[in-house]
Amino acid sequence: MSNEINVKFHIRRYNPKKDKSPYFQVFDIPVSKGMVILDALHYIRENYDSSLAFRYSCRMGVCGSCGMLINGSPTLACNTQILDVSDKEITIGPLPNFQILKDLVPDLMPLFEKHRSISPFIIRDEKELDDPEGEYYQTPEQLEEYLQFTYCIKCGCCMAACPTLATDKNYLGPQPLSQAHRYNKDTRDSGRKKRNEITGSRDGAFKCHYAGECSRVCPKGVDPAKAVQILKRQLVFEFLHLIKKQEPCQKLHGPGKGEKLDIPEAPEKTV
């Protein structure tokens, strides 16, 4: 094809079953306008090395399977035009902050387990489940409160970009926290208190340093950083409420089990 140019792809390879450490392999790929990164990976597999491992399914930015590190930024391979990244050299690796199963395939199980831990579904009172009264109506304004956060496709890009997760694997991370906020904000849900036990725990929302990288890389515009900040605010209000009522608050970073908070007097004004 006349309008093709050759782009060098540096692909990170690693097979834990036989390689001692990861290494890079370089492939020259003929690229034409309209080709996405996923097309280049298919080209490599069909023409150079059929053992290259990568994950994909929908090829249209919906399933969240093809997240990878493209020139240092976590993003979707099926949704990224090659020529928008570079017409010379492109480096591709697996998503950071996850174990690597092979080549460009990360193990996303920790993400799914953390997601499951925040009860990502609408929780209703048990009594009502036995005796439903009818449909659950919602106004457009109430829907607007959480709609943006429903667009998450669980690709893992936000988790891969998070600097806190890079140093602390126990931190819940932006994806589960933003989804906790999504359900907390749903007027049909009554599970916020249950989720607070996870989101307000030692490894929850307050570990977020608000670097904002999760929102920068999110391919669906979910803005997890915003969700986490709102979540923190909500947790602080509920924490203050507990202090006011002098209730045991061991579930949020308070004193030990069964203890009550001893609130000191505010110091005299100094200025």
By CB under 6 A, tell whether 64 contacts ligand FES.
yes
Q: Which amino acid is located at 223 in the chain?
A: D
Among 5, 26, 58, 240, indicate the residue that binds ligand FES (CB under 6 A): 58
Q: Which stretch binds ligand FES (CB under 6 A): 43-51, 52-60, 144-152, 208-216?
A: 52-60
Q: Which lies closer to ligand FES via its Cβ, residue 78 or residue 159?
A: 78
Residue 243 phi, psi dihedral angles, 5° rounding = -60, -45
By CB under 6 A, tell whether 57 contacts ligand FES.
yes
CB atoms within 10 A of CB 41: 25
CA dihedral sign, ordered 103, 95, 73, 66? positive
Among 43, 48, 56, 112, indicate the residue that binds ligand FES (CB under 6 A): 56
Window 66-85: contact mask with ligand FES (x via CB under 6 A) = x---------x-x-------
Q: How far is the CB of 24 from ligand FES (least distance, A)?
A: 23
* The pair of three-digit structure tokens given for residue 29, joined into one six-digit string: 């790929």
Q: C-alpha angle 90/210/92, rounded to 5°? A: 15
CB atoms within 10 A of CB 79: 18
By CB under 6 A, tell whether 62 contacts ligand FES.
yes
Residue 37: name the closest of 83, 102, 74, 95 by CA. 83
Question: Are the CB atoms for 103 and 10 separated by under 8 Å?
Answer: no
Q: Which stretch binds ligand FES (CB under 6 A): 62-70, 98-106, 110-118, 133-141?
A: 62-70
By CB under 6 A, tell whether 228 contacts ligand FES.
no
Q: Which lies closer to ligand FES via its Cβ, residue 34 or residue 256?
A: 34
Partner residues linked to 178 by β-bridges: none
Residues at the interface with ligand FES (CB under 6 A): 56-59, 61-66, 76, 78
